[in-house]
Structure 1
Amino acid sequence: MRNNDHFDFSSALPIINEDTEFFPLMSQQDEDEMNNEETPDVLAILPLRNTVLFPGVVIPITVGRDKSIKLIKEAYKGNRIIGVVSQMDITIEDPTFEELNKVGTVAQIIKMLQMPDGNTTVIIQGKQRFRLLEQVQSEPYIKVTISKFEEAKHKVDKEFKALVASIREMSAQIIQLSPNIPSEAGIALKNIESTSFLINFISSNMNADVSDKQKMLEMTNLRERALMVMELLTLELQMLELKNQIQSKVRTDLDKQQRDYFLNQQLKTIQEELGGNSSDLEYNNLELRAKKKRWGTQVAEFFRKELEKLSRMNPSAPDYSIQINYLELLLDLPWNDFTKDNFD
């Protein structure tokens, strides 16, 4: 069976029409109204493998497990309210109550779609966090009793405002450096009014492990959650900057290699048009002079290797002329040539 994986939110936008009742970007008033909504004491639970749902955030989910499909279809016919909880071990196909995290999110099913490949896709919006208490049903899907997750009050001082501003700015930098993130995400960030929704929105979309996202979901204090978001964003930004530096250096090196190759090809063409390749002429001339030398076998073999080394060198390289001079010096030495000295 397939995982309950979420896909890019931007791909879901065309299939959500204007009649859909949800807030893609929540205002403070929207959030206050959502927090005051009544939630059932018992919820059917949709386990998630690879993601965490945060309050206010809208995500698409591909549902593949038989239990999950049955749950979604029944809930869609009713009040469309379910509980969404990430499982502790993503490799487990059919998690039990004990294998689920104990903090989840109340979710509203916005839309259900039957995809061409046979899978069921649902678009859900997080509402409120809750704690799992007891299991009251295991088949055909898990149902549990819940209690509301209480958010601790935090002080909105200058330090907290500066922290939120830094998070917003750093997120914008990451969007700018990431080619796969649409530019609309940056516009969305600027238009988010609610601080808690901003933190939830970034937590949901940032490149972090599911375990880290679950940890943030379970934090009762918004300031502490914001600090963890800042820490994870800093790591992500550093990785992106390093990645871009490496890619830029590779592109520069490739550009230089391509330029050198192009220039060498041009030089080769010009030399051929002028009556032959000068490097070939030099090689042939050195080889011809070597055949006339009366040197021993060892010296001849040594010279041959040095001549082969020359043939593998780029004529435009600085070492090429040095190798030419070295070979000419070997040829100029009087190997086994003797003269009769006159001491008179």
Structure 2
Amino acid sequence: MKHSFPTLYLFNNVFFPQTVIPLTVNDGISKDVLLECYEQGQHLAFYHPSLRANKIGTVGRILLLEHNDDKSMTVLVQGLARVKLLIQEQHLPFPIFQVEDYFDVQDQAVILDDSVGRLHVILENWLNRHITSTKERERFLKEMNSPTRLINNLCLLVLKDVELKEIFLTSVSLSERIRMMDALLRGKAPEIEDTAMSEAIKNFERLEPDTDIKNAI
């Protein structure tokens, strides 16, 4: 299904569905689009510009909006779903893109229980180190009720390389994402992805031609 959404470019990060992030913006165009979407209760697309043939972003909704003393604006955004950007329908006063839904293929993935269980422990250890509130940690972990949600939040919290995050966002195979994450996060309490494995995955992806895989589901 195709939709049209105001679009905000994220130059330094990649936004994932089923995650919540704070964003602070200073430029007028970004503030205008965020304020309009917040006041109208409208969803918007977030996209990290790249050279990849498939332009994949995430549609989100603004949960909170604050005006700061330094004239910047901070919003709390919840990611909802992946989309493929098709046509830019408007340039000014802010971009609007026609998009279509972007799903995983039904690859009949083998249930990778051991890998998922290990990655869940890694996320729990990360939360223990970075979130002091036991109540907040427990609430967060209860929300990790699917492998997809788990992988998306590990991408947000643990992975640091933006190109690597983009590979995860564009992958249409959940089993592939689980295997990559399991290989990238070494040990029981990593703070960042393994550099050698990260470079190997990125180099492999650069050799693979971008293919427009027909979305399933």
Q: Does 1:132 align with 2:85?
A: yes
* More divergent stretch after superposition (223-232 vs 147-156): 147-156
Q: 1:161 to 1:146 in 2, by over 3 A?
A: same
Partner-residue secondary structure (3-state), 2:16: coil
Please report how far the alpha carbon of residue 154 of structure 1 lies from its aligned counterpart in structure 2 after TM superposition: 4.2
Q: Does 1:166 align with 2:118?
A: yes
Please report how far the alpha carbon of residue 57 of structure 1 lies from its aligned counterpart in structure 2 after TM superposition: 0.9
Give the 5 Å matches for 1:247-326.
none
Q: 1:143 to 1:236 in 2, by over 3 A?
A: farther
Q: Which residue is equivalent to 1:105?
A: 58
Give the 5 Å matches for 1:79-98.
79-88=41-50
Q: 2:11 aligns with which of 44, 49, 59?
A: 49
Q: 1:62 aligns with which of 24, 27, 34?
A: 24
Q: Check conservation: 1:47, 1:100, Cα contact below 8 A.
A: no
Give TM-score, length-normalised by structure 1: 0.50
Q: Which residue is equivalent to 1:72?
A: 34
Q: 1:73 to 1:175 in 2, by over 3 A?
A: closer
Q: Which residue is equivalent to 2:146?
A: 194
- Match for 1:120: what amino acid? M
Q: How many residues align?
A: 189
Percent sequence identity over aligned pairs: 24
Q: Which residue is equivalent to 1:221?
A: 173
Q: Which residue is equivalent to 1:182?
A: 131
Larger radius of gyration: 1
Partner-residue secondary structure (3-state), 1:104: strand
CA RMSD of aligned residues (A): 2.6
Please report how far the alpha carbon of residue 80 of structure 1 lies from its aligned counterpart in structure 2 after TM superposition: 2.3
- Match for 2:88: what amino acid? Q
CA distance in 2, matches of 1:157, 1:231: 17
Q: Deviation string for 1:207-249 (max 9, x for gaps)?
A: 4211111110111011111122222222794678xxxxxxxxx
5+ residue gaps, structure 2, are 193-217
CA distance in 1, matches of 2:173, 2:146: 15
Structure with bigger strand share is 2
5+ residue gaps, structure 1, are 1-38, 89-97, 241-344
Q: Check conservation: 1:63, 1:119, Cα contact below 8 A.
A: yes
Q: Check conservation: 1:85, 1:100, Cα contact below 8 A.
A: no
Partner-residue secondary structure (3-state), 2:98: strand
Q: 1:186 to 1:112 in 2, by over 3 A?
A: closer
Q: Check conservation: 1:83, 1:106, Cα contact below 8 A.
A: yes
Please report how far the alpha carbon of residue 203 of structure 1 lies from its aligned counterpart in structure 2 after TM superposition: 1.3
Partner-residue secondary structure (3-state), 1:234: coil
Q: Which residue is equivalent to 1:32?
A: none
Partner-residue secondary structure (3-state), 1:108: strand
Q: Deviation string for 1:177-221 (max 9, x for gaps)?
A: x4xx11447535642222211111121111421111111011101
